[in-house]
Amino acid sequence: MSIQQIRLFGDPVLTTPASAVTTFDKELRVLVADLTETMLDAPGAGLAAPQIGVPLRVFVWDVDETLGHLINPTLDLSEEMQDGEEGCLSFPEIRYDTPRAMRVVAKGFNMHGDPVTIEGTEFLARALQHENDHLNGILFIDKLTKSNRKLAMKEIRESDWFAQAAQSGIEIQIKDSPHSMFGRNI
């Protein structure tokens, strides 16, 4: 297991749809372990494989003191929506109100290839939607209202991490400061 570098906005891997996992082998179990370790180190409440540069349909979460992972997920969303602030480990310090479905039923597989169903409401539902979007190359800024997206893009362009990444062409890892569950990025 090892902590991996978290890719930041601007890296094309974040906007590329990921491929389905076809082999449930040791390599996959190492990927789940690396994702979990990297998420806990950040610290974050969720992390998807493309965020560490691996274009596979795998994500992990740490919500309500419960660690989880899901492979090749499909999501069913409630019509009822929730409001709330959201951030992403690939966008240090950027947080905006992001509308999401209130409840989610996520179906997929665990790392051993067994089918699993995860039901989530509120923050778990938000995290599952956020991570699942990462697998489709969709980012939380894509879910914002038009005016908030404009503000977010301005904030991103003015951020040190984005300027440095653009200038040097290298990825920069910035750690989020530890705070409450709802302040943690996904």
Catalytic pick from 122, 131, 155, 171? 131
Q: Which residue number places its CB atom closest to Zn ion?
A: 88
Cα distances from 63 to residues 28, 38, 86, in angstroms, run 22, 15, 14
CB 71 within 8 Å of CB 29: no
Which tokens in the block code for residue 161?
A: 């991490």
What is the maximal distance between C-alpha atoms in the chain?
45
Window 48-77: residues binding Zn ion (CB under 5 A): none
Q: Closer CB to Zn ion, residue 58 or residue 88?
A: 88
131 assigned to active site: yes
The least CB distance from residue 84 to Zn ion, in Å, is 15
Distance in Å, CB of 71 to Zn ion, minimum: 18
Asked if 35 contacts 59 with a C-beta cutoff of 8 angstroms, the reply is: yes
Stretch that binds Zn ion, among 29-37, 61-69, 84-92, 172-180 (CB under 5 A): 84-92
Give the C-alpha separation, 61 to 26, whole Å.
Answer: 20
Give the number of other Cβ atoms within 10 Å of residue 12's Cβ.
9
Q: Which stretch binds Zn ion (CB under 5 A): 6-14, 57-65, 75-83, 86-94?
A: 86-94
Q: Shortest distance, CB of residue 89 to Zn ion, whole angstroms?
A: 6
Instruction: For the CB of residue 128, give the shortest distance to Zn ion in the complex, in Å.
Output: 12
C-alpha dist (Å) from residue 73 to 31, 108, 126: 16, 4, 15
Among 60, 88, 118, 141, binds Zn ion (CB under 5 A): 88
Positions in the binding site for Zn ion (CB under 5 A): 88
Catalytically active residues, by annotation: 131
